[in-house]
Amino acid sequence: MKIKQPIAESQIWSWLEEVTDPEIPVLNVVEMGIVRNVEIGKYDEITVKITPTYSGCPAMNAIENEIHKKLLDKGASNYRVVTDYKEIWTTDWMTNNAKQKLKEYGIAPPEKTPAGKDFLTSLKSQQKIVPCPWCDSMETELQSEFGSTACKAQYYCNECLQPFEYFKCI
Amino acid sequence: MSTLETIPNSKKEVLVEILLRLADDRLILGHRLSEWAGHAPELEEDLALANIALDMIGHASALYGYAAQLEDKPDEDHYAYFRDDIDFKNIALTELPRGDFAFTTARLFLFSTFSYLLYNNITQVIEEEQFNGIIKKHFNEIKYHLRHSREWVLRLGDGTDLSKLKIQQAIDDLWMYTGEMFETDKTENLAAGYNLFIDVPVLKNEWMKWVTETLEEATLKTPDNNQYMFTGSRQGRHTEHLGRLLAEMQFLRRSYPDADWK
């Protein structure tokens, strides 16, 4: 299908909402805050600005490819996807709706990143309580700050005796 | 959008050299850490080391990628796979064989402390937008590496007699390779003049303070700072270990330069 540009910016945003994170398929790249900007230039060329989440995240390449694929599938031809470092991605950009979806998927959503905290103190002694996404219990403990992907830490719930993952703040 | 066109060539050359130095340190240490995958003492640690390795290789990739844009090279792989040991500018600390878990922990701690202080300071001077953005982003992740390795230094130092012996030995063995962190040369001076870098020797006192505090808390001794320090890596004079590491890392790509995943 070939569509005629120009296309409305809002149309492109809604296409991008169909692109999901390969590791967390319940979230799309817009609600995760990965897509920073969509611009339509004076020759109707589309520029999509994305920002990397975690530097070591192998999913970023996959996500960029998916965005290309989506734009092509929708019939856009004159476009480019640019990685932008001007603003540094933070978990605070994740929408509340996205956080709710994460929880329902079984991953405890990131808390708000506290400003100026003493980062050297371990998460354990910071007494940050991460509620269990399964049973909402506060009786949970940190197992490891590193998990199955770059963005997650491992926790264990002492109430329902289930391990779960926590989306780390950055 | 891009400022690439507006950077004069003389400044560009210096910027590329700085990018490569930072990236080489991280690629080589990342590769050493990745050797632990499947071998760490426990599953959680296996995941942690693999994650940190991924971060570091990711950091190198972003820095190489930017250098490639500046030099008009095809991509970041050019720097990782098609340069020889003499072209690599990483400090020797990063290329030493992985050793045991205490050695890995001690090295990660000494390097991450340096990395943290360096990145914290250079983000305050770099005016070049993309470079500053990359460094700021990586800085947030370095905090995790520093916290993780510091906690292990505390645990091993203040642990059993054997763990204490091993981590102290590792710190002592590594000490002569820490001098290169604070060396400076003409390139770095030029870079500082362009607001692309800082005068690194000023970080030394701060680094000593941070390291000593943690070692004391871990009931460990800080080695004598006036001992012989290894030098030459930033000029491409490496230990014998780098060549072997590169041989393993580069052989596939060099044997099949056009290979891809498709």
Same domain, A53 and A77: yes
Residue B2 has pLDDT above 50, yes or no: no
Residue B130: list chain A partners with CB under 8 A.
85
Assign residue A68 the CATH number of its domain: 3.30.300.130
CA atoms within 13 A on the CB side of A128: 22
Residue A29 tokens read as 């790249």
Same domain, A15 and A49: yes
Final residue of a structural domain among A89, A120, A149? A89
In a domain, A3, yes or no: no
- The type of residue at B173 is D
Residue B242 has pLDDT above 50, yes or no: yes
CA atoms within 13 A on the CB side of B7: 23
Selecting from A56, A84, A143 the residue whose C-beta is nearest the C-beta of B54 gives A56
Q: For residue B222, name the pLDDT band (cuts at 50, 70, 90).
A: very high
Selecting from A55, A82, A147 the residue whose C-beta is nearest the C-beta of B55 gives A55
What's the total number of domains in chain A?
A: 2
Share of chain A above pLDDT 90, in %: 38
List, for residues B123-162, the tens digit of each pLDDT value. 999 999 899 999 999 998 999 999 999 999 999 999 999 9
Peptide bond into A6 cis (omega under 30): yes
Q: For residues A79-100, give the mean pLDDT.
A: 87
Residue A80: phi and psi, rounded to 5, are -145, 150
Same domain, A13 and A85: yes
Nearest to B143 by CA among A55, A75, A10: A55
Q: What is the pLDDT of residue B4?
A: 65
More reliable by pLDDT, A112 or B186: B186
Classify residue B151 as exposed, middle or buried by CB count within 10 Å of its CB (0-12, 13-18, 19+).
buried
Residue A126: list chain B partners with CB under 8 A.
none
Same domain, A46 and A104: no
More reliable by pLDDT, A5 or A156: A156
List, for residues A122-143, the tens digit of each pLDDT value. 555 555 788 999 999 999 998 8
Q: For residues B75-99, give the mean pLDDT.
A: 96
Distance CA B53, CA B39 (A): 14
Same domain, A142 and A123: yes
Q: For residues B98-116, give the mean pLDDT.
A: 97
Sheet of A35-40: strands edge to edge?
A35-40, A46-50, A79-83
Same domain, A42 and A77: yes
Selecting from A56, A89, A119 the residue whose C-beta is nearest the C-beta of B58 gives A56
Same domain, A83 and A101: no
- Classify residue A54 by its DSSP letter: S
CB contact (8 A) between residue B54 and residue A120: no
Q: In Å, what is the CA distance from B186 to each residue of B26, B114, B131, B200? A: 22, 21, 20, 12
Q: For residue B250, name the pLDDT band (cuts at 50, 70, 90).
A: very high
| Residue written as token pair 């993780």 | B148
Q: For residue A75, name the pLDDT band (cuts at 50, 70, 90).
A: confident
Final residue of a structural domain among A61, A89, A117? A89
B129 touches chain A (CB under 8 A): yes
CB contact (8 A) between residue B54 and residue A170: no
Q: What is the pLDDT of residue B1?
A: 39
Residue A72: phi and psi, rounded to 5, are -65, -45
- Classify residue A167 by its DSSP letter: E
Is residue B168 a contact partner of residue B106, using CB atoms and an 8 Å limit? no
Is residue B145 a contact partner of residue B112, using CB atoms and an 8 Å limit? yes
Q: For residue B213, name the pLDDT band (cuts at 50, 70, 90).
A: very high
Kindly list the residues of chain A whose beta carbon comes within 8 Å of any beta carbon in chain B.
Answer: 52, 54-58, 82, 84-89, 119-120, 122, 143-148, 150, 154, 168, 170
Q: What is the pLDDT of residue A145?
A: 86
Selecting from A55, A86, A154 the residue whose C-beta is nearest the C-beta of B141 gives A55
| Residue written as token pair 């770059």 | A150
Q: What is the pLDDT of residue B176?
A: 97
More reliable by pLDDT, A12 or B7: A12
CB contact (8 A) between residue B47 and residue A144: yes
Same domain, A57 and A13: yes
In a domain, A2, yes or no: no
Residue B54: list chain A partners with CB under 8 A.
56-58, 150
The ipTM of this complex is 0.81
Final residue of a structural domain among A54, A89, A124? A89
Q: For residue B259, name the pLDDT band (cuts at 50, 70, 90).
A: confident
Q: In Å, what is the CA distance from B123 to each residue of A11, B117, B134, B173? A: 37, 10, 9, 32
Tell me the CATH number of domain B8-255, given options 1.20.1260.10, 3.30.750.24, 3.40.50.10310, 3.40.50.300.
1.20.1260.10
Range of the domain at A118: 96-167
Q: What is the pLDDT of residue A118?
A: 63
Same domain, A124 and A160: yes
Residue B237 has pLDDT above 90, yes or no: yes
Residues 198-257 of chain B whose Cβ lies under 8 A from any Cβ of chain A: none
More reliable by pLDDT, B8 or B168: B168
Q: For residues B29-39, give the mean pLDDT.
A: 96
Residue A114 has pLDDT above 70, yes or no: no
Same domain, A109 and A160: yes
Q: In Å, what is the CA distance from B247 to each residue of A4, B74, B257? A: 51, 22, 15
Q: For residues B172-191, give the mean pLDDT.
A: 96
Q: What is the pLDDT of residue A170?
A: 77
Distance CA B122, CA B136 (A): 9
Smallest CA–CA separation between A85 and chain B, in Å? 5
